[in-house]
Amino acid sequence: MTTKTTTEKKPISRNRLLGIAGLGWLFDALDVGILSFVIAALAIDWSLTPQEMGWIGSINSIGMAFGALIFGLLADKFGRKSVFMWTLVIFSVASGLSALTTTLAAFMVLRFFVGLGLGGELPVASTLVSESVAPKERGRVVVLLESFWAGGWIIAAIISYFVIPAYGWRVALLLTAIPAFYAIYLRISLPDSPKYEEMKDQRQSIAKNIASVWKKEYAKSTLMLWIVWFMVVFSYYGMFLWLPSVMVMKGFSMIQSFEYVLIMTLAQLPGYFLAAWIIEKIGRKFVLSVFLLGTAFSALIFGFADSTTVLIVSGMFLSFFNLGAWGALYAYTPENYPTIIRGTGAGMAAAVGRIGGIFGPLVVGTLTAKNIELGSIFTIFTVAIVIAIIAIIFLGKETKQVELD
C-alpha cells in the first residue's frame, strides 16, 4: 500500500505535465487551424459551393460533439490518462488519412473521426491538468495549457502560407498528422490524475454520472456552462474556420489572406498570457466575461470593416480576446464539479458546445450563399457572445483557488 501511494503521488513536475499535455493540444489546434486554410484551398481545387464549405467545418464539430460526450463519460469510468491517449491516436490516424482522400464524401467521413478524437481530448486534458496542480496556480496552468492552442494555430498559418500554395493541401495535412505520434509516445509515461486515483473505488455508473450533473447543487452551474459553451463554440467556429475564406470574399488573394490571418493569429498568444496572469488575481468570472466582451466588440468591427487596416487590427483583437476567453473557459469548467463526475460534467458541456460548432460554419455558408453581408453575419456571433456573458454573470459562481473535491 505504501509503495502504491508513493508511485501514485510521485509528482510529475508542473512544467513537464504542461509540456506533454500541451503538445497534444498544440497538434489539435494545428489540425483545426490548418482546416480553415484547407477549406479555402479545397473551394478552389474541388469547386465547392459555400454550403459544402460550411459542411466541412460542421462535420468536424459533429465529431467533436460525440467525442466530448463519449470520452468525457469514459474519463470518469476508466481514468483520464488512458482516454487522453486514445483520443490522440484516433485524431492522428484520421487526420493523416484525410490527406489521401480524393472525394468530398471520404474527406468528410475522416473529418468526423478527427473531430471525435479532438472533441474528446480537450475536456479530458483540461480535467487531468486541473486535478494535478495546486489550487493557487490551477487556473493559470490550465490557461497556459490552452495557450498551446495559439502555437498550433500559428504553425498552421505558417504551413498554410508557405506549403499550400507551393505543394498543395495534402502535404499540409500530412505535416500536421505525423508529429502527433510523438505526443502519443510522450504520454505513455504520464501519470493519471491523483484526484482520480483517490476516488477510483467510488466510481459510479455512467448513467448515474449523467444524472448527477443535474443534481440540485450542480444544476445552475450545468445550465450556465451549457449556454456559455454553446454560444462560444458557435461563434468561434463560425468566425475562425471561415477566416481565410472571409478574407478572400473581401477581395484578397488566397496568399494575401493566409498572410493576414497569420498576423491576426499571432495576437492569440498575448491574449492567453494576459488571461493566465490575471485569472488567479481577479477570478474566473471576471476574466471570462471581460474577454468575451472584447470578443463581441471585435467581431462586430471585423464584420463591418471597410479597409485593410481596420480588418487586420480588429482581427488581431478578435484573436486576442477570443482565445484568452477560451483559456479561462477551460480553466473554469472542471472546477464546477466534484472529481467523481468532473470528466462527465466537462465533457457534456463541451459536447453541447460542439453542437453550436455544427451550426456556426453552416450559418456563414448558408447566409453567404444568399448574399447576406458579412457585417450582418458577424452581428449574429456578437449577439451569441453577449448571451454567454449574461449567463456567466447571473448563473456562474466564482471558483478561484477553491480546493477541488
Domain locations in the chain?
A: 13-187+214-395
Cα separation, 325 vs 111, in Å, equals 26
Number of C-beta neighbours around residue 166 at 10 A = 8
In angstroms, the CA 345 to CA 342 distance is 5
Check residue 4 and give its pLDDT.
41
Q: pTM of the prediction? A: 0.84
**Cell numbers found for residue 27:** 497538434
Cα distance between residue 240 and residue 33, in whole Å: 8
Taking each helix axis as running N to C, give the angle between helix 14-45 and helix 169-177, from 0 to 180 degrees, rounded to the nearest 10. 160
Architecture in CATH for domain 13-187+214-395: Up-down Bundle (1.20)
Helices (H), 178-267: 180-187, 194-198, 206-212, 216-240, 243-249, 254-266
Decide: residue 30, CB within 10 A, 0-12 exposed, 13-18 middle, 19+ buried: buried
> What is the per-residue pLDDT for 179?
67
pLDDT (0 to 100) of residue 10: 56
Residue 228 and residue 26 in contact, taking contact as beta carbons nearer than 8 Å = no
Contacts of 399 (CB under 8 A, 6+ apart): 284, 332, 335, 336
CB contact set of 151 (below 8 Å; sequence gap of 6+): 26, 29, 269
pLDDT tens sequence for the chain (405 residues): 434 444 444 556 888 888 888 887 888 888 888 888 888 889 888 988 888 888 887 888 889 899 999 999 999 988 898 898 889 888 888 988 999 998 999 999 999 999 999 889 888 888 888 898 888 888 899 889 888 988 888 888 888 888 988 898 999 888 877 767 777 777 777 788 888 888 777 888 899 999 999 999 999 999 999 999 999 999 998 888 777 777 777 777 777 787 888 888 888 889 989 999 999 999 999 999 999 999 999 999 998 988 888 988 999 999 999 989 999 999 999 999 999 999 999 999 999 998 998 898 888 888 988 888 889 999 999 999 999 999 999 999 999 888 777
pLDDT score for 2: 39
Q: How far is Cα 301 from Cα 298, in angstroms, rounded to an integer?
A: 5
pLDDT value at residue 202: 82
